[in-house]
Amino acid sequence: MRSMEMDARDKRVKRTQKLLARALIALTLEKGYEAVTIRDITVRADVGYATFFRHYHDKDALLQDVLDVILDELTEALLPAKPDTDPALVGTLLFRYVQMHSEMIQVLLRSQGSSALMPRIIAAGTRSFLQQHRAHPQSTVPIEVVAHHLITSSVSLIQWWLEHDMPYPPEQMGRIYCDLIVCPTDTMIVPTLNDEQ
């Protein structure tokens, strides 16, 4: 019985957090992050003002929560791919995800509200990359430099695509991602899973 009560409470908490996140995203797109107040967010979400503070201490904390969800989903979407998977396919999956969540990602990439957001995106992506790759023995470029280049270039390409209203389909962007970012660095890295074979 207690387990059912906890499940119901967890569902209510998640529902409230989702409502607050959607309100923050919509309001930020309408008037910019700096102009959005906590009162605006709670009114738009139809959530009590005091309820907001049961979940978050300020709107930056809510924005960080949104970022955590995006990072987890991106990692989950891309990690199942085997190391020898066609990079254009991985790129296509990446840009499909961005297209499906374009409003949320635009808010995260544009927001000045939390200056730590972009470094967190880059750090999480770099960490994930370094867990899956090592430097090729003949590479003159340190693996951490390759990782940083790949992640920052990918973020820049996503920003460009969103700022230009997604002029090319995800499949074409996957190919561009492959040709422009992944393939030029292919000879510098080796998937770590190969070490176990």
Identify whether residues 101 and 118 lie together within a single domain: yes
Instruction: Count structural domains, the chain.
Output: 2
Mean of pLDDT values over 109-127? 71
The residue among 2 and 104 whose pLDDT is bigger is 104
Residue 80, phi then psi, degrees to nearest 5? -60, -20
- Determine contact, residues 135/190, Cβ cutoff 8 Å: yes
Identify whether residues 8 and 20 lie together within a single domain: yes
Highest mean pLDDT among 8-17, 44-53, 77-86: 44-53
Mean of pLDDT values over 157-180? 95
Q: Which structural domain range is residue 182 located in?
A: 60-196
Report the pLDDT value the prediction gives residue 129, as an integer from 0 to 100. 84
How many angstroms separate the CA atoms of 100 and 98, rounded? 5
For the whole model, what pTM was predicted? Answer: 0.74
Whichever domain contains 153, its CATH number is 1.10.357
Q: How confident is the model at residue 72 (pLDDT cuts 50, 70, 90)?
A: confident
Mean of pLDDT values over 3-27? 82
Identify whether residues 95 and 182 lie together within a single domain: yes
Identify whether residues 34 and 87 lie together within a single domain: no
Tokens 């770590």, located at residue: 192
